[in-house]
Amino acid sequence: MCTTNATRKENVLEIDFNQGLAFALAEVVHGYVAAMKLPVDAALSINMTVVIDAGHYDVSNGDAFGEIYGAMDVNLQL
């Protein structure tokens, strides 16, 4: 089973990548919504386009992380 830990202060998620990317992202977003207690009726959208290259296979590659992070468009309307 391919898993990773994503930490935010005392919160730890164990994510099973075998469930698929959408499932993993939904777990992270759901955890964030619950932890931050986003207001009822808030609207959240997430969009990104990134071209994968060999550098993205190395999770310690900060430049690759930066490319992925920079490609994300997260919009939260409260």
| pLDDT averaged over 10-residue windows placed end to end, the chain, 78 residues | 55 87 95 95 98 97 97 97
Does the predicted TM-score (pTM) go above 0.85? no
3-state secondary structure at position 21: helix
Angle at 58 between CA 19 and CA 31, to 5 degrees: 40
32: nearest Cα among 54, 57, 15: 15
The tens digit of pLDDT for each residue in 48-63 reads: 999 999 999 999 999 9
Which backbone phi and psi does 19 adopt, to 5 degrees?
Answer: -80, -10
C-alpha torsion sign, points 75, 17, 2, 27: positive
Taking residue 8's Cβ as centre, other Cβ atoms within 10 Å add up to 12
pLDDT value for 22 = 95
